[in-house]
Amino acid sequence: MNTLKVGICGLGTVGSGTVNVLQRNAATISARAGVNIEIVHVGARRDNPLCDITPYKVSRDIFEVVRDPNVDLVIELIGGTTIAKDLVTEAINNGKHVVTANKALIALYGNDLLALAAEKGVTVAFEAAVAGGIPIIKAVREGVAANEIKWLAGIINGTGNFILTEMREKGRDFADVLAEAQALGYAEADPTFDVEGIDAAHKLVILASLAFGMPFRFEKCFTEGISNIDALDVKFAEELGYRIKHLGIARRCENGIELRVHPTLIPEKRLIANVNGVMNAVLVNGDASGPTLYYGAGAGADATASAVIADVVDIARGNQIPMMGFAPEEVSKQRILPIEEVQTAFYLRISAEDKPGVLSEIATALSARGISIEAIIQKEAQDDEVRVPIIILTNRTVESKMIDAVSTIEQFDFVQRPVVRVRVESLAG
């Protein structure tokens, strides 16, 4: 049996997990690949006590791994987009295949890296870049290859999902849950990438490109975080039969592709609405398959290592499936809709004075822009409160019309600004 010699760069959570799974399941992995997969070189600034690298050559300079003529395939697990980009570029130029879990690297620089890999006759694979242990890239690229994909929607950041789950189940405030998520290691000391949707946007851009056959275009993805979600809105959404999830949504429309990450109300009866804690899920709707849901651990040492090694096995087998899911000449730039052109329904929470005529003026402001109301709830004033929350669900409308309507409503002297506005999706097949 031939041998594929592997170099690993980075010994953090995923790197140590990859070493452990390759060691633990060596016989099964080789039997599946038809090739012995052997770690020969590890590059890391320091050892990780969670894995044993004593059998291998170890370098503190990770670039020694990509320059090692004995290495056939480099696994990049250092993260970031500066050193990682240089490392992957040099590996490709040295004729080595690359497997990476680096979603930011692929979302920002994947077009150039894949083009260079094609020129050099090697593969850059990135299953582990999206949704950890869920084989969602393989599912989109291969499993639903017969389909014209209509849309996909995903909970693709476990930190945000954990926060929203705790807010819903325990009525806690965002800041309180975020502090716990940091203490548990779910969120970084600087949680911006997670709670403001940047991490999810990186992943969505990758999925959308595979689904619709277009280059990676991170700069075109609309991104909105969850830091402004109030426990009140989580509670009111529940009363209306919805749950708030931080979704990445990509949809094919007549005039382009929607590419957006934001908090979203979805009906509580949907399976994806019941994905809780740090788990991830992606819903893919194809014209032939209908909606299919992919669920599992979105992070973690072994779960992500599973995806990393699946790519290694594919390369060892000599699989010739295009990494973008389409023949290279069929990948083409498509128009990405600005958020102002996107159509969704909306949840509005308006804090207004409790007096006659308020509902009428708000309804008129919406109606004047062709926005119809599906449901409305006015809560009773509590004790000596002057203002009461008015909750409105609208039917679908163009975002620009809703922006205009909310701007008008916020000018009413009986309304306390700002108006809370959250998009609503049915996610029906």
Catalytic residues: 203
Q: Which residues have a Cβ under 8 Å from the Cβ of 2 and sit 6 or more positions away? A: 35, 36
In degrees rounded to 5, what are phi and psi of residue 49?
-65, -10
Q: Which residues of 25-55 are buried (b: 16+ CB within 10 A; e: fewer)?
A: eeeebbeebebebebbbbbbeeebeebebee
Could you give the 3-state DSSP secondary structure of residue 293?
A: strand
Q: Is the dihedral of CA 223, 228, 233, 238 positive or negative?
A: positive
Other residues' Cβ atoms within 10 Å of the Cβ of residue 79 = 17
Task: Find the distance separating the first CA and the last CA of the chain, reported in whole Å.
Answer: 47
CA–CA distances in Å: residue 268 to residues 239, 274, 275, 394: 10, 7, 10, 17
CA–CA distances in Å: residue 125 to residues 31, 102, 427: 21, 10, 30
Other residues' Cβ atoms within 10 Å of the Cβ of residue 67 = 15
* Rounded-to-integer distance, Cα 272 and Cα 251, Å: 17
Q: CB–CB of 63/90 below 8 Å?
A: yes
Beta bridge partners of 267: 242
Radius of gyration of the chain (CA): 24
Residue 203 is which amino acid?
K
Residue 235 is which amino acid?
K
Query: Where on the phi/psi map is residue 195: left (φ > 0), alpha (ψ -120 to 50), or beta?
Result: alpha
In degrees rounded to 5, what are phi and psi of residue 208?
-65, -40
Residue 132 is which amino acid?
G
